[in-house]
Amino acid sequence: MNIFKVFASSKKSFPEECMSALILWLLNPQMEHGLGYEFLQRFIQKLEEKDPKLTSLERRLVSQLRKSSQDEEGDQCGCEDVLCDLETHVTSDTGEAFIDAVLEFSDTILAIENKIYTNSASDFTQLCREYDGLRNAATRGKIKIKRRIVLIFLVPGDVDVTSMDEWRHKPDVQDGDSIQIGTWKENDQGYPSVYTLISELLRDEAGGRTEPIPEYTRHTLKALNAFICNDFQGYYYKNHKKPTSIGGLNPLAEGTENIQLLLGKTEGYVGVRFGINGFIFWSMAEMSF
């Protein structure tokens, strides 16, 4: 049983917001998944291949059983503190935006804009608002000014966003900052992928090359990878006509249609727009079939 596939079979398919919460849950070392810093460290290792400046941060993400308040050189030691936040609101001269997931470290901010459906992975003006908003927060003292910003555009993986005409609208970053492309599925463009990260983690755990993963977390990771491979879709829907679903919408809830179109459908569910409140807009004549 794959719980992600079950949820994706509901009326509105699988919401991107839920996947944002899941990826941040895995990245947050304080959560109850039992992975500690493992997933976060591997995630940054993947980004490090395109952004070597992340090396120092990745090396600090090491759990220690014993630690003192200071090391031999007098610097603070121990695990790197990380502040995690969902739907972070930022504003700037270019507008306002909500960033799906933000991880704040002592010297770096990782911001993730998550897209699990291809048709929503082309709004690069949104990235501009997010980056400008983070920089605006820095200048206003809401975050440390000297923190480096790494903005990650996490997309499905079946399209190379850098080949889109809209890519010219990507943000112009300041020195030291960077924009990274990441994908959920494997890709042939050399971008880091969540699927590969999870596969390598499960392989290393099975071979005893990393710490044992709690059983529930292991099954969650396996289900997630299968869900990613299935393009975040729910269970099969039989439709003899050309599918009209776009952007991951469940074919059982493809949109609002008139009675004639509904009668022409092969399979599906019929509901009222806006729930029971939708009846208010109907006259008795319209409600009678």
Confidence of residue 68 (pLDDT cuts 50, 70, 90): low
Domain contains 132: yes
Segment 163-192 shows an average pLDDT of 81
- How far CA 265 is from CA of 205, 214, 236, 242, 258, in Å, comes to 47, 45, 16, 11, 11
Exposure class string for 40-65: b at 16+ Cβ within 10 A, else e: bbbbbbbbbeebeebeebbebbeeee
Give dist(CA 186, CA 195) in Å, integer.
6
Give dist(CA 1, CA 3) in Å, integer.
6
Domain contains 65: yes
Task: Check pLDDT > 70 for residue 43.
Answer: yes
Name the nearest CA neighbour of 228 among 199, 190, 191: 199
Domain contains 256: no
Domain contains 246: no
The predicted structure's pLDDT at residue 221: 97
Domain contains 284: no
What is the full DSSP assignment across 164-185?
Answer: SGGGGGS--PPTT-EEEEEESS
Task: Check pLDDT > 80 for residue 151.
Answer: yes
Instruction: Retrieve residue 249's tokens.
Output: 């919408």
Q: In what order do the strands lie in the sheet with 178-183?
A: 83-92, 95-104, 108-114, 148-155, 178-183
The predicted structure's pLDDT at residue 271: 54
- With pLDDT > 90 as the criterion, what percentage of the chain qualifies? 33
Range of the domain at 172: 3-229
Quick one: DSSP state of residue 70? B
Give dist(CA 199, CA 131) in Å, integer.
31
Domain contains 123: yes
Task: Check pLDDT > 90 for residue 228.
Answer: yes
Q: How many residues does the chain have?
A: 289
Segment 122-131 shows an average pLDDT of 81
Give dist(CA 109, CA 151) in Å, integer.
8
| Continuous segment of H or E residues that includes residue 108 | strand 108-114
Confidence of residue 244 (pLDDT cuts 50, 70, 90): very low
Task: Check pLDDT > 60 for residue 39.
Answer: yes
- With pLDDT > 70 as the criterion, what percentage of the chain qualifies? 71
Task: Check pLDDT > 80 for residue 213.
Answer: yes
The predicted structure's pLDDT at residue 219: 95
Domain contains 169: yes
Confidence of residue 62 (pLDDT cuts 50, 70, 90): confident
Identify the top-confidence range among 49-53, 60-64, 145-149, 199-203.
199-203
| Continuous segment of H or E residues that includes residue 216 | helix 215-229
Indicate the pTM of the whole model: 0.75
Domain contains 262: no
Domains: count for the chain: 1
Confidence of residue 13 (pLDDT cuts 50, 70, 90): confident
The predicted structure's pLDDT at residue 74: 38
Residue of higher predicted confidence among 140 and 124: 124
Give dist(CA 121, CA 141) in Å, integer.
31
Give dist(CA 36, CA 211) in Å, integer.
10
Say which range, 65-74, 154-163, 168-177, has the weakest mean pLDDT: 65-74
Identify the top-confidence range among 14-28, 45-59, 155-169, 260-274.
14-28
3-state secondary structure of 208: coil
